[in-house]
Amino acid sequence: MSGMLLTGIGHLTTNLGEPIERGAVSIRDGHIAFAGAEADAPEQGPSDRLDCEGRAVIPGFVDAHTHLVFAGERSKEFESRLAGEPYTGGGILSTVESTRTSSTEELYDLASGRVRRMIANGTTTVEIKSGYGLDLDTELRLLEVATRLGETHPVTVKTTFLGAHTVSTEYRDDRDGYVELVVEEMLPRAVGLADYCDVFVEDGVFSVDQAERIFAAAASLGLPARVHADQLSRSGGAGLAARIGAASADHLDHVTEEDADALAAAGVSAVLVPGASFSLRSPQAPGPMLWEAGCTVALATDCNPGTSYVEAMGFVISLAVVQMGLTVDQAIWAATRGGALSLGLEDRGALAEGMQADLVVLDAPSPAHIPYRPATNHIWTVIQDGKQSYRRD
């Protein structure tokens, strides 16, 4: 049996109770065998030992909303927004053009660099969407690359089909025709490559009725829904997510208390992406209100080339605390356990016997240092599935 024993933990966050001072974690065959006070740790035979020397340990970050596989960059669009140009979502098509003309190997190499940087910033699980192809061939290639990333890197990958990210140039005058393409051609071919289906529900993108048709087709194929909801306006995405029992509603910048209550009652996770609001210079989603309503709140980078080119969950946690108003404990939970629950991964995001051993050792005495020193990568060691995936020497 393979094993590892972490001792000398100054502050142990398990997400299943109060933090533990002077803790220890025992790992056996990729799972947690013990997490608690070092004085209570059971005797353990031969194993790799890691003295954390007073450092804090938390569960590995679960990044529950990304668009990692793409080509090109949109820095000029960013500068235009700084100069006052409004964001309408139209820049997606420029990324589509770059992505379509890139080979599968080029897309893999680009995304591989992003994944490696995410791992170095403490991410152990990541959701990856398609959506920069908007045609059958490229959408399938994006899902294939996302799947391959999980096979070739020490990170768990969950995939989401987002063919309905926007309407392709070829169908710009036939939005319903594009929905037909998604339902009849793309979705059936995405089965086996995607774990979820997503739609960008927004005025001028996809209506609630169009999204509902796509989600109904996805459900018939066994793909649960994740919804880009109410980012730019209160467009009805959150209400739709609650009505169909989606796995998650994401963004939620313009939701109301009524929407929050509906999401909580339906068991829909609220995946918040403060990096996008930061980049767009728009108000943050009402994280504390969603938390108080009883929603399962998750945090994610929304890593994408247009509105949140962010690869570090630590920066997201800082924004969630300083700008959104979550407490440090809430933000850490949302970036770990909340993300895991939104992806249906009950064995992640917490440290307790039987859980998968995904955890991070911070080069800091407590998780509060993440937002307290936001410009620093605090990751000292990352353990994914019981093995060290990153160590800063």
Residues 317 and 168 in one domain: yes
| pTM for this model (two decimals) | 0.97
Residues 227 and 337 in one domain: yes
Which residues span the domain enclosing 362? 3-59+350-391
Question: Does the pLDDT value for residue 321 go beyond 80?
Answer: yes
Question: Does the pLDDT value for residue 348 go beyond 60?
Answer: yes
Instruction: Band the pLDDT of 2: cuts 50, 70, 90.
Output: confident
Mean pLDDT of the chain: 96
pLDDT at position 89 is 62
Among 317, 342, 367, the domain-final residue is: 342
For residue 236, what are its two tokens?
A: 């009805």
| Contact between 18 and 7 (Cβ < 8 Å) | no
Residues 233 and 315 in one domain: yes
Residues 358 and 293 in one domain: no
Residues 248 and 362 in one domain: no
pLDDT at position 1 is 54
Residues 123 and 16 in one domain: no
Structural domain total, the chain: 2
* Segment 162-221, tens digit of pLDDT: 999 999 999 999 999 999 999 999 999 999 999 999 999 999 999 999 999 999 999 999
Residues 158 and 204 in one domain: yes
* Segment 238-288, tens digit of pLDDT: 999 999 999 999 999 999 999 999 999 999 999 999 999 999 999 999 999
Residues 148 and 220 in one domain: yes
For residue 314, what are its two tokens?
A: 């630590």
Residues 273 and 307 in one domain: yes
Residue 206, domain CATH: 3.20.20.140
Torsion-angle region of 122 (φ positive above 0: left; ψ -120 to 50: alpha; else: beta): left
Residue 384, domain CATH: 2.30.40.10
Residues 43 and 83 in one domain: no
Instruction: Band the pLDDT of 46: cuts 50, 70, 90.
Output: low
